[in-house]
Amino acid sequence: MKNKRVVVTGIGVVSSVGVGKDAYWGSLISGKSGISEIESFDTSRYDNHRGGEVKDFNPSDFIQKEKIQRLGRGSQFAIAASRMALEDSRINFSNVDKNMIGVIIGTTMADAQRIEEMDKIWVELSEKDIDSKLISQYPGNVLASNVGFALNLRGPNISIPTACSAGNYSIGYSYDLIKRGRVDYMLVGGSDPFSRIAFTGFNRLFAVAPEKCQPFDKNRKGMMVGEGAGVLLLESLDSALDRRANIYAEILGYALSCDAHHMTAPSTSSVVSVIKRAVKNANIEPKDVDYISAHGTGTPANDKAECGAVKEVFGEMYKKIPISSIKSMLGHTMGAASALETIACCFAIKHGIVPPTINYETLDPECDIDCVPNQARKKNVGIALNNSLAFGGNDACLVVGKI
């Protein structure tokens, strides 16, 4: 069995705090909030009216104008982020077998807005008035498929729908494929558009904060629904060195679990298990971890469970490890969340800065971690952990390290 080392050599981002890797990272370390009044649909019948919408995205910057209308917003995000990641990687396509470049995109809602369009037509007119082209645009697999079509990539093409942990699932599986020599390159990450379906669902779960997301704060009131995409280009270390690529970080290992506990509430013991196994699979010790990118949704139950797990795994060291949640700035981008957080880990390693948890005001004794409150911090990061805890009990932990 081959055992190649796997590295990140390209990054693409669409987010509510900026489009493109530089705008994204600059906003994170400056503590910029991407939360604003929702504009994509009327929220007057809801109690909450704010979210992490992407305001400055122009799909024609990345996609031919005649093709834009045939693509849902989630696919547009995924194609844009993938194109940026490929350009950032500086791969010479004349020397690459496109059958050996795969695509895996994680998601929660896929192109959910297409479902909303069809439902509206069906209710207001009839099923006969639904354009048949819409029907092919909503299945969950379309995100990865559309990336493959747009970029003419013929390798493995998969969409992973494990909700908020889907980005980490995608990166982990792609890591396995490259490590074993089954592909040469993988475009991986996650994408989710803002949708009425997701916004309504989380509001009905009473999980949405009215104004801002405050992870780990004693007075936190919930999450903010967001949107965006994060895509990374993975390849073997040998390949990256051979073509003198810019290497952001190395994927050291990961672990997955289903806690079989509850559809929406996290299980502390499962989070403990997945972190411990990720650390073991990466051949490191808990003492080696310099930074943790928390799932950190800002809901009372999630933050308490995650902090409890961190305390159990890291013991007395837990207060010495910076543990921040960028969802305080982006909102919860669903299937894109852990991919965008992995990108933040890569930048933290590359630049020696950890992003803050903004909106932090009051200490919660049950969440007495070092959450890097309100301001970014200079920190030499050799190894970073990225936690993701999804509905359905789908937990994932990814370990990223410096080359």
Catalytic residue selected from 213, 258, 262, 295: 295
| The pLDDT of residue 204 | 86
CATH of domain 7-242: 3.40.47.10
Structure tokens at 23: 């705008």
Whether pLDDT at 126 is above 70: no
164 among known catalytic residues:
yes
Stated pTM of the model: 0.94
Which residue in 49, 258, 261, 332 is the catalytic one? Answer: 332
Top-ranked range on mean pLDDT: pick from 48-52, 92-96, 113-117 = 48-52
pLDDT-based confidence at residue 94 (cuts at 50, 70, 90)? confident
Q: What is the predicted pLDDT for the residue at 125?
A: 67
Structure confidence at residue 30 (pLDDT): 98
Annotation marks residue 351 as catalytic: no
CB atoms within 10 A of CB 148: 23
Q: What is the mean pLDDT of the chain?
A: 92
pLDDT digits (tens, 9 = 90+) for 188-228: 999 999 988 888 888 888 899 999 999 999 999 999 999 99
Query: Is 70 exceeded by the pLDDT of residue 53?
Result: yes
Superfamily classification of domain 253-401: Thiolase/Chalcone synthase (3.40.47.10)
Domains 7-242 and 253-401 belong to one CATH topology: yes
Q: Is 346 a catalytic residue?
A: no
Contacts of 165 (CB under 8 A, 6+ apart): 106, 256, 338, 388, 389, 390, 394, 395, 396
Per-residue pLDDT at 130 exceeds 60: no
Q: Is the pLDDT of residue 121 over 70?
A: no
Catalytic residue, chosen from 164, 213, 367, 371, is 164
pLDDT of res. 206 = 87
User: Of 174 and 393, which is predicted with more confidence?
Assistant: 174
- Position 42 pLDDT exceeds 80: yes
Domain ranges across the chain: 7-242, 253-401
**pLDDT surpassing 70 at residue 138:** no
Residue 109 pLDDT? 79
